[in-house]
């Protein structure tokens, strides 16, 4: 049975293959599409104010997408201390 290859050698080979790719290939294969629930369900949305947009995000998007407003943020939804 053959010995497993050195992980560092495998990494170096991957680097060599990557460096030989064209810019078009880097761009084509360098990005991956990930479906984002709710955000990707409509072609576009229009909001009159940033406050409306933030409120919509807070109320409709899953928290793991990172669009939630921190509960202790005193400027949330445009409410500011006078």
Is 0.85 surpassed by the pTM of this model? Answer: no
pLDDT digits (tens, 9 = 90+) for 26-82: 888 888 888 988 989 999 999 999 999 999 999 999 988 888 887 766 565 555 544
Rounded distance between C-alpha atoms, residue 38 and residue 76, angstroms: 21
What pLDDT is recorded for position 70? 79
* Residue 6 belongs to some domain of the structure: no
Task: Give the domain extent around 62.
Answer: 39-78
Nearby residues of 1 by Cβ (< 8 Å), 6 or more positions away: none
* Residue 45 belongs to some domain of the structure: yes
For the chain, the domain total comes to 1
């Amino acid at each position: 049975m053959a010995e497993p290859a050195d992980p560092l050698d495998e990494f170096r080979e991957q680097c060599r293959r990557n460096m030989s790719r064209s810019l078009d290939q880097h761009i084509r294969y360098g990005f991956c599409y990930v479906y984002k629930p709710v955000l990707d369900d409509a072609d576009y949305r229009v909001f009159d104010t940033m406050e409306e947009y933030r409120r919509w995000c807070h109320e409709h998007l899953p928290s793991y997408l990172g669009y939630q407003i921190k509960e202790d943020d005193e400027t949330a939804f445009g409410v500011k201390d006078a």
